[in-house]
């Protein structure tokens, strides 16, 4: 392979956190870098633009994180979420990742990213995560500014159509162009495939049509599919997603954090037919969002309704969309398109069963926060599953090289971010860890791709 | 001038934006608006009044906004709050007769300001032309009492003092009305520590700091330029007041009539202040005119620039007077300078100048809430 035939040393496919970290690391290692972001400039940054924090190991308080979060604690948290899928999560890689997370905040700070001080009183106490000042879009603005200042060539509206990995140096074809862009090495950091409704349907059937995509519409998984077709070893599972319960009126893409519904454990949740289908009090902590995402995704028609009265409504943060309201439960049912007698009998049975914050004699029970729904006006929010990302990826080694099932690396091809996150997370979710995976493996992939291209 | 429908639309849009911001809160490290918002479950009309005046219009939140256009939510918090803030000036103006009648935006506001300032200049110049002998007015004047041979001290002090008194009264009533307009203050919070916090916030313009790196004056890059130019302007004005006060002491207590030598305290303070004002106003205006238009309420730029232009002229005419006081230009320059100062005093309660006391009141309220939350 000769460098002469290449358009650039390192080609980065993607425009989120992992992609920018890879581009910056590769450029700092001396490579010429072209980055292809599928989005326009105003919507650049992938799902990272909706992110807020980064989970990092630290043995002692730093300027950015309080307390300490030792490697073993981080590892235990990863083990817990990776759960049943731990088989596909690579423990050695996880250990390496945790160690590398320790200095990633400093590396990002050195590349223009600003974090909240750990002592900042406006933040919820966290010994595990560092917060981006201004959130994920501010993070991405800083990374793009640094990349461009270093001489990374950024091409917006650069959606990749095909990868060419079989003969000669890796190359990609963008949009309608016929001529592939060739590179000394490739970093694929293009996220999951959640924005491809057809692919989602293959896994979820008709329910997929009811899903809301919380992040970028450009995560269509084209590069992921191409890597898998070219022999990359799959990790994670195509039929798993990270998802949360969102207001059913959220926009189809890019709703981000604000469409999450806070109040589900406080009232009752009914399916499209007006019947309760889960214990609303089972999960009341921060994981309630994820728990309800899964429940609603698998409920009939993948739609549900959070129902409450005006007394209960005071106990949670309201949705950004107005509650659907009516003076009677029957009237509320009509407004929701539910058969009124069914919802009336659901609410009556629930109210009759409430005793001392829990329920007796109904199925499913409500084990916590049970309160009768009696004070008009009655309110409801439509609930849908909001997909953060899919959990199918490609296997990588500690140098972020994409591996075949036999353990050999595909020459010159690296991966970073959500496209390889299942190596660490399996099909689980751990708040703030995906951003760390993006930055840590982006940095590794960029460095390794530059070394490969310039060798 | 916005009609009632516009008022409601502007308030509804700001409330929609703040509800989304409250659900997000990614910007909570930028300024005091977000922590104050976080402590509210719903945003009332009083909260809008408070939060819109707490906003320093640094625009960091807009450049960091995941919901800014072209996102479907089409969020533009700095612009939404600017429009509400401008309405709060109109709602709390004093005397109440003027409420809803006085323009605070667009060309009408610029026209009102220009009319008031020109009237003030005329008020000074016309009587001087009528009563002061031309050889005095257009001749070279120097030595102690030179200024007062043109306009007697008693006239200067009487007219300017009267106008200033009215303006201070009007501002006082406006701020009192605004304070009530923010809703009840948190009970049981000691005022003095909160006042100290607010004074420190105002003196340092902490909320233009964007959490450390400054604000987005022109684009997504951060800069301290706006904060520094505002410091130059604000402390320039303060130095000029100090100079005037010092001159009053010289004249009345010590019996030394103006003009004073270049190395005297009034001239030194006034020159430094005047230069600060010139640099501050020119800098702020140039930032304003080159700013990214997206997060700016364009209808307000005219009135903002009108105030900057007036302050620039006040300072420039003062510096010109100092430079040319030994020449025949002294007389006309003195009249124009006095007229402009008088015009500025007269417009204080009715122009963008009102942002200063309102912002301070909002900072004080925020500090009280912070201390109330512990």
pLDDT for A83 equals: 65
Query: Is B73 in Cβ contact with A138 (below 8 Å)?
Result: no
pLDDT for A84 equals: 56
Query: Is B67 in Cβ contact with A134 (below 8 Å)?
Result: no
Chain A (314-343) residues lying within 8 Å, Cβ to Cβ, of chain B: 317-318, 320
Residues 6+ apart with CB under 8 A from B142: B259, B325, B326
Q: Give this prediction's pTM.
A: 0.94
Distance (Å, whole) CA B257 – CA B147 = 9
How far away is chain A from the Cα of B35, in angstroms, using its nearest Cα? 6
Residue range A283-309: mean pLDDT, rounded: 94
Count of pairs with CB atoms under 8 A, one residue in A, one in B: 82
Q: Phi/psi of residue B337, each to 5°? A: -60, -45
Q: Phi/psi of residue A120, each to 5°? A: -60, 120
| Lowest mean pLDDT segment, chosen from A78-87, B14-23, B25-34, B297-306 | A78-87
- CATH architecture of the domain A8-238+390-454 equals 3-Layer(bba) Sandwich (3.50)
Mean pLDDT of chain B: 92
How far away is chain A from the Cα of B192, in angstroms, using its nearest Cα? 22
Using alpha carbons, list the distances in angstroms from residue A124 to A261, A426, B43: 19, 28, 22
pLDDT band for B2, please (50, 70, 90 cuts): low
Give the tens place of pLDDT for each residue, B178-231: 999 999 999 999 999 999 999 999 999 999 887 778 888 777 888 999 999 999
**Half-sphere exposure for B146 (CA within 13 Å, toward CB):** 23
Domain ranges of chain A: 8-238+390-454, 262-318+328-375
Q: Which residue in chain B has the smallest CA separation from A50?
A: B66
pLDDT for A2 equals: 42
Written as six digits, the tokens of A82 are: 């990776």
Nearest to B64 among A122, A137, A320 (CB): A137
Residues of B with CB under 8 A from a CB of A: 19-20, 22-24, 26-30, 34-35, 38, 41-42, 60-61, 63-73, 211-213, 220-221
Whether A2 has its CB under 8 Å from any CB of chain B: the answer is no
Residues 6+ apart with CB under 8 A from B114: B306
Interface test with A, best of B26, B38, B206, B209 (most A CBs within 10 A): B26
Chain A (139-168) residues lying within 8 Å, Cβ to Cβ, of chain B: 141, 145
Distance (Å, whole) CA B257 – CA A151 = 64
- Alpha-helical (H) ranges within A4-134 are 17-28, 71-82, 91-101, 104-110
What is the SS3 assignment for B169?
helix
Residue range A267-295: mean pLDDT, rounded: 94
How far away is chain A from the Cα of B23, in angstroms, using its nearest Cα? 5
pLDDT band for A4, please (50, 70, 90 cuts): very low
Q: Count of residues for chain A?
A: 455
Residues 6+ apart with CB under 8 A from A335: A324, A325, A326, A380
Residue range A178-188: mean pLDDT, rounded: 93
> Would the CATH topology of A8-238+390-454 be identical to that of A262-318+328-375?
no
Quick check: A141 pLDDT over 70? yes
Give the tens place of pLDDT for each residue, B319-347: 999 999 888 888 899 999 999 999 999 99
Q: Count of residues for chain B?
A: 374
Task: Give B214 or A301, the one with higher predicted confidence.
Answer: A301
Distance (Å, whole) CA A394 – CA A234 = 5
Q: What percent of chain A has pLDDT over 90?
A: 89
Structure ipTM = 0.94
Interface test with A, best of B12, B24, B25, B29 (most A CBs within 10 A): B29
Mean pLDDT of chain A: 94
Tally of CB atoms within 10 A around A24: 28
How far away is chain A from the Cα of B87, in angstroms, using its nearest Cα? 25
Give the angle A223-A229-A230 at the CA atoms, nearest 5°.
90
Q: Answer whether A418's CB lies under 8 Å from A389's CB.
A: yes
Q: In sequence order, what E strands does A143-207 have?
A: 153-155, 160-164, 171-174, 181-188
pLDDT for A366 equals: 97
Written as six digits, the tokens of A443 are: 């940095």
Distance (Å, whole) CA A261 – CA A264 = 7
pLDDT for A87 equals: 53
pLDDT for A258 equals: 97
Residue range A367-373: mean pLDDT, rounded: 96
Whether A249 has its CB under 8 Å from any CB of chain B: the answer is no
Query: Is B61 in Cβ contact with A43 (below 8 Å)?
Result: no
Tell me the CATH number of domain A262-318+328-375, given options 3.40.228.10, 1.10.10.10, 3.90.700.10, 3.50.50.60: 3.90.700.10
Chain Cα centroid distance, residue B123: 24
Nearest to A134 among B35, B60, B68 (CB): B60
Give the tens place of pLDDT for each residue, A86-132: 455 678 999 999 999 999 999 999 999 999 998 887 777 789 999 99
Query: Is B67 in Cβ contact with A257 (below 8 Å)?
Result: no
Residues 6+ apart with CB under 8 A from A50: A136, A214, A215, A254, A256, A257, B66
Give the angle B223-B226-B232 at the CA atoms, nearest 5°.
130
Quick check: A1 pLDDT over 50? no
């Amino acid at each position: 392979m000769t460098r002469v035939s290449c358009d650039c040393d390192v080609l980065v496919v993607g425009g989120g956190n992992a992609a920018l970290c890879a581009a910056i690391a590769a450029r700092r290692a001396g490579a010429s870098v072209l980055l292809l972001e599928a989005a326009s400039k105003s919507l650049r940054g992938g799902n990272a633009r909706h992110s807020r924090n980064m989970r990092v190991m630290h043995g002692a308080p730093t300027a950015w994180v309080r307390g300490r979060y030792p490697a073993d604690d981080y590892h235990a948290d990863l083990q817990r979420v990776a759960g049943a899928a731990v088989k596909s999560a690579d423990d050695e890689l996880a250990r390496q990742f945790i160690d590398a997370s320790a200095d990633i905040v400093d590396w990002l700070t050195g590349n223009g990213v600003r974090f909240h001080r750990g002592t900042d009183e406006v933040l919820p106490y966290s010994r595990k995560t560092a917060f981006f000042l201004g959130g994920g879009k501010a993070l991405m603005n800083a990374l793009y500014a640094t990349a461009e200042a270093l001489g990374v060539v950024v091409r917006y509206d650069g959606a990749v159509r095909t990868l060419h990995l079989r003969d000669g140096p890796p190359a990609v074809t963008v949009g309608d162009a016929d001529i592939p862009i060739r590179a000394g090495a490739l970093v694929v950091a293009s996220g999951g495939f959640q924005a491809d409704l057809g692919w989602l349907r293959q896994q979820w059937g008709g329910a997929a049509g009811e899903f809301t995509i919380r992040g970028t519409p450009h995560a269509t998984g084209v590069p992921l599919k191409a890597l898998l077709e070219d022999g990359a070893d799959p990790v994670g599972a195509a039929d798993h997603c990270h998802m949360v319960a969102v207001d059913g009126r959220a926009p189809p893409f890019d709703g981000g954090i604000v469409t999450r519904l806070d109040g589900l454990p406080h009232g009752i949740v009914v399916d499209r037919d007006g019947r309760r289908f889960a214990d609303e009090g089972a999960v009341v902590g921060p994981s309630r969002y994820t728990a309800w995402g899964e429940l609603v995704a698998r409920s009939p028609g993948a739609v549900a309704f959070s129902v409450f009265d005006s007394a209960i409504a005071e106990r949670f943060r309201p949705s950004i969309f107005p509650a659907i309201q009516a003076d009677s439960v029957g009237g509320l049912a009509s407004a929701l398109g539910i058969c009124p007698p069914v919802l009336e009998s659901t609410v009556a049975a629930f109210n009759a069963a409430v005793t001392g914050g829990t329920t007796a004699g109904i199925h499913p029970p409500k084990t916590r926060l049970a309160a009768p729904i009696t004070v008009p006006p009655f309110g409801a929010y439509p609930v849908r599953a909001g997909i953060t990302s899919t959990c199918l990826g490609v296997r990588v080694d500690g140098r972020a090289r994409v591996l075949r099932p036999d353990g050999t690396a595909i020459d010159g091809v690296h991966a970073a971010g959500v496209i390889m996150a299942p190596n660490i997370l399996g099909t689980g979710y751990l708040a703030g860890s995906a951003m760390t995976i993006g930055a840590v493996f982006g940095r590794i992939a960029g460095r390794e791709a530059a070394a490969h291209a310039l060798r | 001038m916005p009609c009632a429908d516009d008022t409601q639309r502007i308030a509804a849009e700001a409330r929609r934006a703040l509800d989304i911001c409250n659900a997000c809160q990614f910007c909570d490290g930028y300024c005091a608006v977000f922590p104050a918002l976080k402590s509210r479950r719903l945003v009332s009309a009083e909260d809008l009044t408070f939060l819109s005046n707490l906003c320093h219009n640094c625009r960091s939140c807009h450049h960091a906004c995941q919901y800014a256009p072209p996102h479907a939510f089409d969020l533009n918090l700095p612009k939404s709050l600017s429009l509400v803030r401008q309405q709060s000036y109109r709602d709390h103006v004093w005397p109440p007769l003027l409420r809803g009648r006085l323009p605070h935006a667009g060309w009408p506001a610029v026209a009102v300001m220009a009319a008031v300032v020109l009237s003030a200049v005329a008020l000074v110049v016309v009587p001087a032309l009528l009563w002061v002998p031309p050889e005095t007015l257009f001749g070279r004047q120097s030595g102690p009492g030179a200024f007062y041979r043109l306009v007697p001290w008693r006239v200067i002090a009487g007219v300017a003092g009267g106008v200033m008194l009215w303006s201070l009264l009007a501002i006082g009533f406006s701020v009192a009305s605004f304070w009530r307009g923010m809703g009840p203050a948190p009970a049981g919070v000691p005022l003095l520590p909160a006042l100290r916090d607010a004074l420190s916030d105002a003196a340092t313009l902490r909320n233009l700091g964007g959490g450390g790196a400054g604000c987005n004056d022109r684009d997504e890059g951060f800069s301290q330029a706006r904060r520094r130019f505002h410091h130059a302007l604000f402390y320039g004005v303060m130095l000029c007041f100090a100079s005037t006060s010092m001159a009053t002491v010289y004249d009345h207590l010590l019996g030394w009539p103006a003009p004073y030598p270049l190395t005297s305290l009034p001239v030194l303070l006034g020159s430094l202040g005047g230069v600060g004002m010139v640099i501050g106003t020119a800098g702020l205006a140039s930032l304003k005119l080159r700013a990214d238009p997206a997060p700016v309420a364009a209808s307000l730029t005219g009135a903002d620039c009108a105030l900057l232009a007036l302050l620039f002229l006040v300072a420039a005419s003062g510096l010109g007077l100092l430079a040319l006081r030994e020449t025949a230009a002294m007389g006309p320059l003195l009249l124009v300078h006095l007229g402009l100062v008088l015009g500025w005093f007269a417009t204080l309660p009715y122009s963008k100048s009102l942002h200063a006391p309102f912002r301070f009141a909002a900072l004080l309220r925020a500090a009280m809430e912070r201390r109330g939350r512990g």
